[in-house]
């Protein structure tokens, strides 16, 4: 708190013209880019990683060994793969930076004498910024006016205790105002701030690995180990069967590298980036790409109430005073009020409203016929209330308005009513506040000292005990219960004459506790905040998706329960808890909360953190919303911290993984749906990719097991070309699959990308079918040409045609597989052929490439293949229905076992 008068003296700030000139001179207020990798380095990196280097060695060896075609082919493969990966990564990076630019930080500054909100990047040296709790300080500053202001400087100093600031103290860009309000003059922006110096130091630090990254690296590692093992076995068998060591080494490297899914990581990144873009179109902005995937596996959502479930458009609809009840309806200036009570009924209500407004900073302005909030919507509603009652009284609407009508002079004659002493009837005149102790979520009240009075408003349980027991405590409690039971937020308003207190210059106590006692209760005010229309439907969707929801609110238990009941959140056992009653033990707490539709009221930020920890201990993947200054730790603790883009504080936004641009609960649900879709897509192309690997490996396994006596159905070059000709485009197309309509009709699952289900599908169903037909096409061609196992290898022409048949089979089977992989449970013909246009294009390109690889003679000769015979072609064609049939039966089988619809 502070009684510092400089808060009320207005420093005019810069003129717009001066600011524009300074902005041109100094440049925008942006931190120097954390030295991003230059493009050429990112490009070069695609050609210098371990596997690429192995391929370069293989190419060099091929040239030295006098096999220039192989050398050229390997080089082509490295280049195509490198360019493809680079393009994908660049696209993903571009998408990510577009997302970052969607939420520019805004700052309130005083320009030309009025407060305006501008992007933080446009702040210049000399600007006067107006800060309130939760704001990030946009540059280095000197404080010019402060009100109970403390700043979290931990990011610069490591000191976790907030630092109190007084006028004249310096403040630093990037730190946060934790408490109170402040006015400050900017002394340095952008690269000249202290943060910039530190940011350049820390830019080189690696960001932590996300779970998805860890998981993907695991997948790539497994496949790489398998590939290298095969390479080793192949090398050994080649040597044993009399191949020269150089050739053996060459082929071993070729086989290993062909099997390693280098393209997988960039494809996944791109797929996440596209998921993030789709979320952004639905007003959900992820702050890291990996959050897209985590969102998909969310099992529990803890949401707050005001603004997320409700519209945060408050209006005061009822005033209870010991003498009267005033019920207001309608909007605009002149409410239709129903008043019960004696002659002073409206006078009492007005006095309450004026007091509550004096203890507020939020204000309301009339737009058309509606009050629009400037600042805290609840406080704005109190401002509107005061003006409406004045207006009503002045125009005679309040039939018992009595003596204070219009002028507000009434009770102030005896100097007893500071609020009304400053009042005009229509025009709000601000009262001169000597000292303010702002609202904080622990005290749950706010008080001000005005002209020798202490004026206070706050949560009833936190105000009533400070009051001299009113004669009609029971009536007060009944009024409170009744209003809360209707879902109204209820505030108590009280005041006290301060004996012999200091003037505006203080000194005032830091702790208002010693002043906030022996208060006189003026009454209660009930505020209505309509639920969002989308919420009931969104809650139904969450339930259908097997996700549990809890409401964590700072509001009164009865109010919270009423709203939760109204929107259909409250669970069947109607569990409504209070923050103070939550058990300390995290296991107990987890067990208590682990059900659907729990309401926790009067919850503090620390309790939110505990709730997050307890639910995660139960194995939940938790999304938690928060908008307050102190919500940062809970948001960081949750798997998905959700902050509000429209309201909410900078602190919360920067701790969050997901920002809701429209503050709407339904948007979280939309984001979860998109997250599930993206995860399903990654599994789709992983399945597709791995099936191909089975088909590519089988010839080598057969060859090696036969000790080199069974000819090799596919050569290294053919494998490399399969990888490029068939894998890249369909994998991309699978990454663009739309969200499955039923994705939100099954329970969430937290599983490894490469789980048993996927492995069985690849290694026991799709892969073997493809491999069997591939080997059948090869063997049948040889057989019909008269070759029998164990005999001398047939001539080059026969081998080429057989190998061409095997190659064709893999391409065609993969073509069918691309369609099979579009869903994990539905056969492709039920998905509609035109629902993924990119897939049709990918398939067309694949077919053209196949024709080229078979019929362009130099290419075919280089690959060691020729167009297949009729018999070979028939087997290749048969592989398609066979693969689809196997896929169909497998889907039916697992589908039935899973009992219940599931798709994706
Ligand atoms: N500006 C204020 N001045 C006085 N009391 C307030 C103020 N804001 C809130 N309160 C009281 O404190 C209680 C808790 O408010 P708080 O803002 O902490 O809740 P919250 O967590 O934002 O609630 P919700 O879940 O509804 O968003 C309110 O129910 C109200 O009684």
CATH, residue 454 = 3.40.1110.10
Per residue in 633-661, pLDDT (tens digit) is: 899 889 999 998 888 788 888 888 899 98
- Give dist(CA 235, CA 231) in Å, integer: 6
- Which of 297, 203, 221 has its CA nearest to residue 265? 221
Our answer on whether the CB atom of 439 is closer than 6 Å to any ligand 1 atom is yes
In a domain, 250, yes or no: no
pLDDT value for 454: 94
Specify if 365 maps to a domain.
yes
Distance between Cα 310 and ligand 1 center (Å): 14
Q: Give the model's pLDDT for residue 398.
A: 38
Supply the pLDDT for residue 792.
Answer: 83
Residues in the chain: 904
Name the residue with the closest Cα to ligand 1, atom 9: 444
- Alpha carbon distance 761, 688 (integer Å): 10
Q: Is residue 629 part of a domain?
A: yes
Atom 31, ligand 1: residue with shortest CA distance: 459
Q: Does the complex come out with an ipTM higher than 0.95?
A: yes
Going from the C-alpha of 480 to that of each of 467, 560, 858, the distances in angstroms are: 15, 13, 89
Atom index in ligand 1 nearest the CA of residue 304 equals 25
Q: Is the CB of 300 under 6 A from ligand 1?
A: no
Category of 819 on φ-ψ map: left (φ > 0), alpha (ψ -120 to 50) or beta: alpha
Does any domain span residue 96?
Answer: no
CATH of residue 300: 3.40.50.1000
Terminal C-alpha separation, the chain: 56
The segments of the chain whose pLDDT lies below 50 read 1-10, 201-208, 394-428, 899-904
- What span, in angstroms and rounded, lies between the C-alpha atoms of 534 and 145? 42
Shared domain check, 320 and 304: no
pLDDT attached to residue 244 = 76
Whether residues 700 and 762 share a domain: the answer is yes
d(CA 559, CA 717): 71
Q: Is residue 656 part of a domain?
A: yes
Q: Are residues 293 and 358 in the same domain?
A: no
Are residues 629 and 584 both part of a single domain?
yes
Are 772 and 884 part of one and the same domain? yes
CA-based nearest residue to 817, from 690, 674, 663: 690
Question: Are 789 and 690 part of one and the same domain?
Answer: yes
Which residue among 501, 528, 555 closes a domain?
528
Query: Does a structural domain hold residue 850?
Result: yes
Residue 302: predicted pLDDT: 96
pLDDT value for 898: 56
How many Å apart are CA 452 and CA 434, to the nearest integer? 9
- The boundaries of the domain holding residue 620 are 284-310+532-663
Q: Residues 29, 656, 440, CA angle at the centre, nearest 5°?
A: 90
Q: How far apart are CA 706 and CA 592, in angstroms?
A: 62
Domain co-membership, 648 together with 725 = no
* Same domain? 293 vs 375: no
Q: What is the pLDDT of residue 34?
A: 55
Q: Distance, CA 441 to ligand 1 centroid (Å)?
A: 7
Catalytic residue numbers read 304
Q: Whose CA is nearest to atom 25 of ligand 1?
A: 553
β-strands 658-660, 640-644 pairing = parallel
3-state secondary structure of 800: helix
Q: Say yes or no: CB of residue 608 within 6 Å of ligand 1.
A: no
Kindly state whether residue 327 falls inside one of the protein's structural domains: yes
745/837 same-domain check: yes
Cβ–Cβ < 8 Å for 136, 156: no
Q: Is the CB of 375 under 6 A from ligand 1?
A: no
Q: Residue 534 has which token pair? A: 């989308």
- Residue where one domain finishes, among candidates 528, 560, 586: 528
Q: Which atom of ligand 1 is nearest to 308's Cα?
A: 27
Each residue of 492-508: pLDDT tens digit?
999 999 887 676 666 78
**424 within domain boundaries:** yes
Q: Do 696 and 656 belong to one domain?
A: no
The number of folded domains in the chain is 3
CB of 361 sitting under 6 A from ligand 1: no
Confirm or reject: Cβ of 637 under 6 Å from ligand 1. no
Mutational pocket test of ligand 1: of 382, 439, 462, the residue with most ligand atoms within 8 Å of the beta carbon: 439
- Cα separation, 228 vs 230, whole angstroms: 5
Same-domain pairing of 739 and 809: yes
Q: Are residues 362 and 483 in the same domain?
A: yes
């Amino acid at each position: 708190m502070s009684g510092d008068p400089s808060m009320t003296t207005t420093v005019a700030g810069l003129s717009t013209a001066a600011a524009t000139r300074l902005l041109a001179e100094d440049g925008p207020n942006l931190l120097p880019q954390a030295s991003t990798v230059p493009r050429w380095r990112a490009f070069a990196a695609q050609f210098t990683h371990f596997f690429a280097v192995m391929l370069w060695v293989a190419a060099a060896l091929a040239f030295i060994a006098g096999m220039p075609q192989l050398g050229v082919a390997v080089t082509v493969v490295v280049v195509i793969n490198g360019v493809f990966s680079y393009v994908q990564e660049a696209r993903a990076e571009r998408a990510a930076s577009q997302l970052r630019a969607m939420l520019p930080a805004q700052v309130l500054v005083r320009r030309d004498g009025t407060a305006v909100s501008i992007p933080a990047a446009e702040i210049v040296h000399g600007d006067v910024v107006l800060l309130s709790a939760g704001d990030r300080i946009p540059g280095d500053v000197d404080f010019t006016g402060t009100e109970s202001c403390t700043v979290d400087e931990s990011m610069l100093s490591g000191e976790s205790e907030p630092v109190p600031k007084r006028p004249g103290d310096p403040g630093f860009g990037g730190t946060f105002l934790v408490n109170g309000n402040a006015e400050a003059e900017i002394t340095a922006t952008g690269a000249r701030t202290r943060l910039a110096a530190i940011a350049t130091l820390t830019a080189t630090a690696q960001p932590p690995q996300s779970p998805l990254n860890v998981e993907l690296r695991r997948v790539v590692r497994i496949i790489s180990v398998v590939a290298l093992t095969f390479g080793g076995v192949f090398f050994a068998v080649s040597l044993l069967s009399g191949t020269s060591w150089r050739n053996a080494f060459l082929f071993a490297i070729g086989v290993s590298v062909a099997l390693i899914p280098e393209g997988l990581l960039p494809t996944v990144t791109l797929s996440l980036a596209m998921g993030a873009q789709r979320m952004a179109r639905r007003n959900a902005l992820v702050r890291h790409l990996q959050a897209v995937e985590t969102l998909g596996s969310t099992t529990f959502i803890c949401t707050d109430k005001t603004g997320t479930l409700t519209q945060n458009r408050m209006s005061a609809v009822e005033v209870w005073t010991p003498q009267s009840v005033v019920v207001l309806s309608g909007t605009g200036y002149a409410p239709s009020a129903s008043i019960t009570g004696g002659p002073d009924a409206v006078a009492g209500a007005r006095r309450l409203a004026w007091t509550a407004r004096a203890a507020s900073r939020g204000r309301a302005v009339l737009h058309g016929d509606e009050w629009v909030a400037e600042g805290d919507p609840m406080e704005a509603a109190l401002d509107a209330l005061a003006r409406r009652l004045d207006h009503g009284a002045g125009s005679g609407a309040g039939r018992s308005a009595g003596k204070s009508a219009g002028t507000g002079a009434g009770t102030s004659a005896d100097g007893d009513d500071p609020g009304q002493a400053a009042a005009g009837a229509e025009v709000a005149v601000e009262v001169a506040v000597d000292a303010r102790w702002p609202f904080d979520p622990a005290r749950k009240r706010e008080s001000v000292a005005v002209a020798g009075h202490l004026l206070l408003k706050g949560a009833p349980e936190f105000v009533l005990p400070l009051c001299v027991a009113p004669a009609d405590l029971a009536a007060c409690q009944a009024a409170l219960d009744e209003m809360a039971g209707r879902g109204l937020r209820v505030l108590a308003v009280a005041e006290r004459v301060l004996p012999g207190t200091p003037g505006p210059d203080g000194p005032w106590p830091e702790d208002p506790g010693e002043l906030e006692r022996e208060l006189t209760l003026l009454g209660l005010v009930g505020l209505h905040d309509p639920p969002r229309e989308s919420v009931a439907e969104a809650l139904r969707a969450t339930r259908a998706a097997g996700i549990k929801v809890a409401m964590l609110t700072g509001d009164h238990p009865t109010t919270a329960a009423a709203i939760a009941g109204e929107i259909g959140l409250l669970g069947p056992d109607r569990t409504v808890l209070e923050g103070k009653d939550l058990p300390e033990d995290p296991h107990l707490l987890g067990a208590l909360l682990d059900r659907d539709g729990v309401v926790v009221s009067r919850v503090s930020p620390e309790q939110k953190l505990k709730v997050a920890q307890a639910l995660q201990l139960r194995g939940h993947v938790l999304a938690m919303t928060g908008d307050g200054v102190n919500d940062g730790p809970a948001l960081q603790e949750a798997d998905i911290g959700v902050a509000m883009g429209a309201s909410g504080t900078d602190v919360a936004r920067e701790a969050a993984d997901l920002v809701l641009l429209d503050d709407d609960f339904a948007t979280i649900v939309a984001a979860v749906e998109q997250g599930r879709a993206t995860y399903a897509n990654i599994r789709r192309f992983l399945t597709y990719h791995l099936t191909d690997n089975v088909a590519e490996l089988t010839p080598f396994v057969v060859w090696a097991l036969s000790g080199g006596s069974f000819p090799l159905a596919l050569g290294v070059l053919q494998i490399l070309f399969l990888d490029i000709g068939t894998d890249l485009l369909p994998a991309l197309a699978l990454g663009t699959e739309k969200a499955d309509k039923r994705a939100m009709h099954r329970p969430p699952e937290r599983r490894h990308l490469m789980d048993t289900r996927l492995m069985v599908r690849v290694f026991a169903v799709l892969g073997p079918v493809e491999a069997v037909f591939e080997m059948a096409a090869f063997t049948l061609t040889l057989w019909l040409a008269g070759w029998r196992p164990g005999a001398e290898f047939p001539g080059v022409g026969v081998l080429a045609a057989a190998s061409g048949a095997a190659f064709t089979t893999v391409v065609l089977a993969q073509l069918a597989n691309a369609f099979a992989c579009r869903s994990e449970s539905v056969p492709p013909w039920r998905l509609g052929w035109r629902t993924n246009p990119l897939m049709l294009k990918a398939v067309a390109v694949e077919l053209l490439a196949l024709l080229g690889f078979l019929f362009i003679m130099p290419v075919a000769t280089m690959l060691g293949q020729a167009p297949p015979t009729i018999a070979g072609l028939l087997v290749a064609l048969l592989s398609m229905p066979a693969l689809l049939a196997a896929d169909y039966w497998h889907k039916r089988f697992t589908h039935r076992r899973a009992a219940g619809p599931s798709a994706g």
